[in-house]
Chain A
Amino acid sequence: MKESLMEIIRCPIDKHELELAVEDREDGEIMAGMLSCPECGETYPIEDGIPNLLPPDMRDDAAA
């Protein structure tokens, strides 16, 4: 994902702005990292350049 996407993505639960921790960056795109919500404490991984912003209970279903 491009870092500019941070301007519009939000926590799916409370729509609060997210904090970004970058683990891997390629060609200006964030390929791996972690998004966290300072409001509810939930974390959302970025893998393969795609942030997983599913609500946590759905994320668990999707990973099953």
Chain B
Amino acid sequence: MHGLGDVRFFDRLAPLYDLVMPAADQAALTAGLARAERSVDHLLDLGGGSGRATIAVEAPERTVVDVSRPMLRRARSRQPDETGRRLGRPADGGPVGPLGAVQGDARELPLADDAVDAAIVVDAFHHMLDHATVVAEVARVVRPGGVFVVREFDPSHPLGWGLVRAEHAIGMGSTFRTPDELAGLLADAGFDVALLDGGFQYTVVGSVPSVDE
């Protein structure tokens, strides 16, 4: 039996959720993706919802996979000239959207083996169910030399503890992982793991070893 988890919250929040990506997140994502040993031609934003983080990353092809259809409609409707979209603009000022959007579940990704060069999960991993299964699916779809970048909140940080309480108070079933726990999950799935930054928000990067190593 599958559960929808926290998806209904985001179905309702979709029109409100479309905030500008904080610059700190963009810097962390860029640093994480720079660890790829291949060019990131196709980026997967897993649990990317409205594409808020997706547009912060420059890649020729960007696909958002999410359970929430209203959030995906936002992702598809993104245009480069909307207010607050400057972070998403490529350096040459070219157009951003629309993003590719696929309704799917992170535990049973509707993607081929070695489908993408990189995957990101930004502020969303704690909403996903069966974390080990999700990480194994990402390991399957990211090509050798590619990376998996996760940006998450640390529940052991004083601010993180407040966030856990707040999300549970409104009925979300969030499961937050500490940096060490998340790093362990990625290592178990065969990723070479690095912790990029710590604090309330942290970034873990898992690299898929290149074939020719």
Which residue numbers of A lie inside 8 Å of B, CB to CB? 1-2, 5, 7-13, 15, 17, 29, 44, 48-55, 57-58, 61-62
Contact = CB atoms under 8 A, between A and B. Distances in A.
B103 A50 contact: yes
Given A8-B115, A50-B103, 9 more contacts: A5-B100, A8-B42, A8-B63, A8-B112, A9-B111, A54-B67, A54-B105, A61-B2, A62-B67
Contact of A53 (B7, B73, B103): B103
Contacts of A7: 112
A34 to B, nearest CB: 14
Given A50-B72, A50-B73, A10 B105 contact: no
Interface in B70-118: 72-73, 76, 98, 100-105, 108-113, 115-116
A21 B4 CA distance: 28
A12 B104 contact: yes
Contacts of B111: 8-10
B1 interface: yes
B101 A50 contact: yes
- The secondary structure that dominates the B interface is mixed
Interface string B1-45: 111100100000000000000000000000000000000001000
B102 A50 contact: yes
Nearest to A49: B76
**Chain B, interface residues (CB within 8 Å), range:** 20 to 34
A13 B2 contact: no
A13 B100 contact: no
Contacts of B73: 48, 50
